[in-house]
Amino acid sequence: MLSNMMKHPVIRISDKTRTAIKADGTHIPVVDAKYSFLVQPEPDDIEGAIPLDPAECMYCRACRRQFGSELVFVTRGLAYVELKNRFGKPELRRFILTQPAKRKVRQFDLPDPQITSEAVIFAAPEGSRTLNSIRAKYRIRVAKMPKKGPRILKSWPPGTPRQAGPALRDKQTGHFNFSMLKHSPTPSIPEDEPPRYLSEIPTNIPRGWVLVHNNVQPTRKLGSRGFRAWIDRPSESLEPCNCDWAPELSQHFRVKL
């Protein structure tokens, strides 16, 4: 299944939206083919084909010659052929490549392909390979996914979850509620507590403690290239640092050299 939009200079195809967009902006519905096709490339189709180009391979050229299709797109497992329905409107029919067709496509994309004009079958999708079946499986998978709970914010100490409060901006009026901009109290830590090394930059610092890092080149990812950070009690071995490593915090320190 092409869950995302496949892009090419002349076509964009999406099985999810069941739509193809041509270079001129024309939208064509993508439908499963009802019948399998026998595709027979001729020597001229092979000679003028371009390897690794899903719109100019030998089978694309053969389909345009055999069925008068303007738009043909062949991948390693799927083929899309533009045909007209019974009302005369164009549709992009979706086929499944059989194993011989897959082998021929892979061989053609090799640096020195040895290709013969052998006929292959573009098979009509059946069972679990149809668009309806793929969509049904997707809906079942989405229904089984756990629903998102309330947003959890980082807090101190690490591992203590804190649920998000009311929104700072009113969704209806768009006005900001500045009365909510209050600093939450930070927990205190016993004085005899040893320094705590950090695995991430904290959102707040406990009272009476300071944020410290070593003299390695600072990085936002703690532990990278030997950079370490921790919280400690203020002492003469520390000095204020102005390296802009953590601009969201009011101040931090580094070890004196």
Q: What is the model's pLDDT at position 4? A: 41
SS3 224: helix
Are 243 and 223 in a shared domain? yes
Residue 170 is assigned to a structural domain of this protein: no
Domain check: are 93 and 218 in the same one? Answer: no
In a domain, 237, yes or no: yes
Residue 168 — very low, low, confident or very high, per pLDDT cuts 50/70/90? Answer: low
The answer to whether position 1 is within a domain reads no
For 157-163, what is the mean pLDDT?
54
How much is the average pLDDT of 203-208?
A: 81
pLDDT of residue 207: 80
Q: What per-residue confidence (pLDDT) applies to 148?
A: 66
**Domain check: are 13 and 131 in the same one?**
yes
Tell me which of 144, 178, 211 is where a domain ends. Answer: 144
| Angle subtended at Cα 67 by Cα 59 and Cα 135, rounded to the nearest 5 degrees | 75
Residues 210, 119 within the same domain: no
* 114 and 203 together in one domain: no
Residue 182 lies in a domain: no
Whether 153 and 162 have beta carbons less than 8 Å apart is answered as: yes
> What are the CA-CA distances from residue 156 to residues 185, 208, 231, 247 (Å)?
10, 14, 12, 18
pLDDT band per the 50, 70, 90 thresholds, residue 98: very high
Asked if 123 and 222 sit in the same domain, the reply is no
User: Does 136 lie in the same domain as 35?
Assistant: yes
- Mean pLDDT score of the chain, rounded to an integer? 79
Other CB atoms within 10 A of residue 149 CB:
7
pLDDT band at 3 (very low <50, low <70, confident <90, very high): very low
Total count of domains within the chain = 2
Q: Which of 131-140, 203-212, 219-228 has the highest mean pLDDT?
A: 131-140
**Cβ atoms within 10 A of the Cβ of 84, count?**
12
Overall size of the chain counted in residues: 257
pLDDT at 36: 93
Range of the domain at 215: 153-161+191-257
Yes or no: say if 196 and 211 are a contact pair by the CB < 8 Å rule: no
Average pLDDT over residues 20-36: 86
- Judgement on whether residues 205 and 139 belong to the same structural domain of the protein: no
Flag whether 234 is in a domain.
Answer: yes
Task: Give the H/E segment covering residue 91.
Answer: strand 90-97
Is residue 43 situated within a structural domain?
A: yes
Q: Is residue 117 part of a domain?
A: yes
The pLDDT of residue 144 is above 50: yes
Nearest Cα residue to 120 out of 24, 46, 16: 46
Q: Do 97 and 79 meet the contact criterion of CB atoms below 8 Å apart?
A: yes
Distance (Å, whole) CA 57 – CA 80: 13
Q: For residue 180, what is the DSSP state?
A: G
**Each residue of 57-79: pLDDT tens digit?**
889 999 999 999 888 889 888 99
Residues 65 and 33 in one domain: yes
Q: Please give the pLDDT value at position 156.
A: 52
Q: Where are the alpha helices (DSSP H) in the chain?
A: 43-47, 58-67, 99-108, 131-144
User: Does 91 reside within a domain?
Assistant: yes
Would you tell me how many other CB atoms lie within 10 Å of the CB of residue 233? 15
> Which residues are 84's β-sheet partners?
90
**pLDDT level of residue 154 (50, 70, 90 thresholds):** low
Residues 11 and 124 in one domain: yes
| Choice among 53-67, 104-118, 163-177, 222-236 with the minimum mean pLDDT | 163-177
> What pLDDT is stored for residue 242 in this prediction?
84
* Cross-strand bridge partners of residue 37: 122
> pLDDT grade, residue 2 (50/70/90)?
very low
User: Of 72-81, 132-141, 163-172, 223-232, where does mean pLDDT reach its minimum?
Assistant: 163-172
Q: Do 107 and 206 have their domain in common?
A: no
Residue 10 shares a structural domain with residue 48:
yes
Q: What is the pLDDT of residue 194?
A: 73
